[in-house]
Amino acid sequence: MPADAAFELGHDDLLTLLPRLGPEWVSSDLLEAAAHVPKAPSYRLHDKLAVKLTARCCQPPFQDPYVFGRVAAAHALGGLYAEGFQPVVALALLNLPEMDVPGRTLQEMEAGIARCCCDAKVMLTGVHVEPAARLSCGLLALGHANPGRLAHGHRARPGDRLILSKPLGHGIYQGLQANGALHPHDLREWIALATQPNSPGPTLYCLAGVSQVLEVGPQGLLGALQSLRQEHTAICLEGDALPRMTRVRGHMAGEAPRAQNLALLHDPQLNGGLAVLCSASSVTEVLSLLLQQGFLHAAVIGRVVPEAAESADRVRLT
């Protein structure tokens, strides 16, 4: 699965594009903050308002340009949702190769981006185009959050539970598609998951029992878990509990269970789910929230256990 496509915005580029997000959202304070700290993860404007910018493009493995646009936009917004920010406004980013791209393709791609933004209640203010070696698209998006809601996170503690909101298997489905073995209903399932926004992210940050929320992306679940803040602890995953897309189990039936689970941990995800670390007493509340918002495969997949300080094995599979 293609990793995030390069769309580097330099200091001058950012200052040029920010006003295109709209004067309602881009204040002089934000422009001044961007000028002084252009690569800051977020900008705190006052005690109750912080904003975050993200510029993310990708190369979704779907031939339909409308679906291409929807998935790329959902993928771009996912970075904000996972960090507790509510997206409010965006500018479409298109990387176009030197060869001519049919006008109908561009129109449908832009329509897919617009549909995703409309569903997410995000104002789309226009399109910015850059030359590139390969066709890709995404968003420059701005989200806002109350800084106080982002400050309650803590390091992993023994007894905490790990919940995954979406099933794994995007990379496996891409392989099946490349071999012509992906059935139409499998493709529909894959598109539905890839276009589903991770919108519960900001609400999860409001729950006192939630300590960390991670986005599962091209680096796979294992890669996401490596970034967990943890000290003298390890994540013990239950292989049988890992949710997986419909065809995955049958496709991997000839492999040993442990090999299947390891493959799933490394499987790259496109707009994958959220990995939520929470206290044991908050599990029901987190699962209820995810189920209410359409994440029907959400499941508890592991727990935090004590680990010796000198151990380098921070993720275990049982």
Identify the pLDDT of residue 1.
45
pLDDT of residue 38: 62
- Total domains in the chain come to 2
Do 180 and 137 have their domain in common?
Answer: no
Q: Regarding predicted confidence, which is higher, 193 or 95?
A: 193
The answer on pLDDT for 35 being more than 80 is: no
Residue 74 confidence (pLDDT): 95
Last residue of a domain, one of 130, 149, 168: 149
Whether 8 has a pLDDT exceeding 70, the answer reads no
Is the per-residue pLDDT at 94 higher than 60? yes
pLDDT of residue 119: 93
At which of 113, 132, 149 does a domain end?
149
Read off the CATH number of the domain in which 58 is found. Answer: 3.30.1330.10
In a shared domain, residues 167 and 310: yes
| pLDDT surpassing 60 at residue 152 | no
Please check whether residue 2 lies inside any domain of the structure. Answer: no
In the predicted structure, residue 25 carries a pLDDT above the cut 90: no
- Judged by average pLDDT, the poorest of 33-47, 210-224, 255-269 is 33-47
- My answer on whether 134 and 183 are in the same domain is no
Judged against a pLDDT cut of 80, whether residue 237 lies above it is answered with: yes
39 — pLDDT class (breaks 50, 70, 90) = low
Structure tokens at 274: 């959220």
Percent of the chain at pLDDT > 90 equals: 48
CA–CA distances in Å: residue 248 to residues 10, 173, 253 = 41, 8, 8
The pair of structure tokens assigned to 256 is 């040993």
Q: What is the percent of the chain with per-residue pLDDT over 70, rounded to a whole number?
A: 90
Residues 44 and 115 in one domain: yes
Rg of the chain on CA atoms, in Å:
20
- Print the domain residue range for 65: 11-149
CATH number at residue 243: 3.90.650.10
Token code pair at residue 47: 């005690």
Task: Write out pLDDT tens, residues 197-214.
Answer: 999 999 998 898 898 899
- Whose structure tokens read 């959220």? 274
**229 pLDDT above the threshold of 90:** no
Where residue 312 falls among pLDDT bands split at 50, 70, 90? low
Indicate whether 239 and 135 sit together in one domain.
Answer: no
- Domain membership of residue 3 (yes or no) is no
What is 272-291 written as a DSSP string? Answer: --EEEEE-GGGHHHHHHHHH
CA 121 to centroid of chain Cα atoms: 17
- How many CB atoms within 10 Å of residue 159? 13
Q: What's the CA gap between 94 and 237, in Å, rounded?
A: 39
Calpha distance 264→243 (Å, rounded): 9
Q: Greater confidence, 233 or 296?
A: 296
User: Average pLDDT of the chain?
Assistant: 86
Instruction: Kindly tell me if the per-residue pLDDT of 178 is higher than 80.
Output: yes
Q: Is residue 129, in this structure, part of any structural domain at all?
A: yes
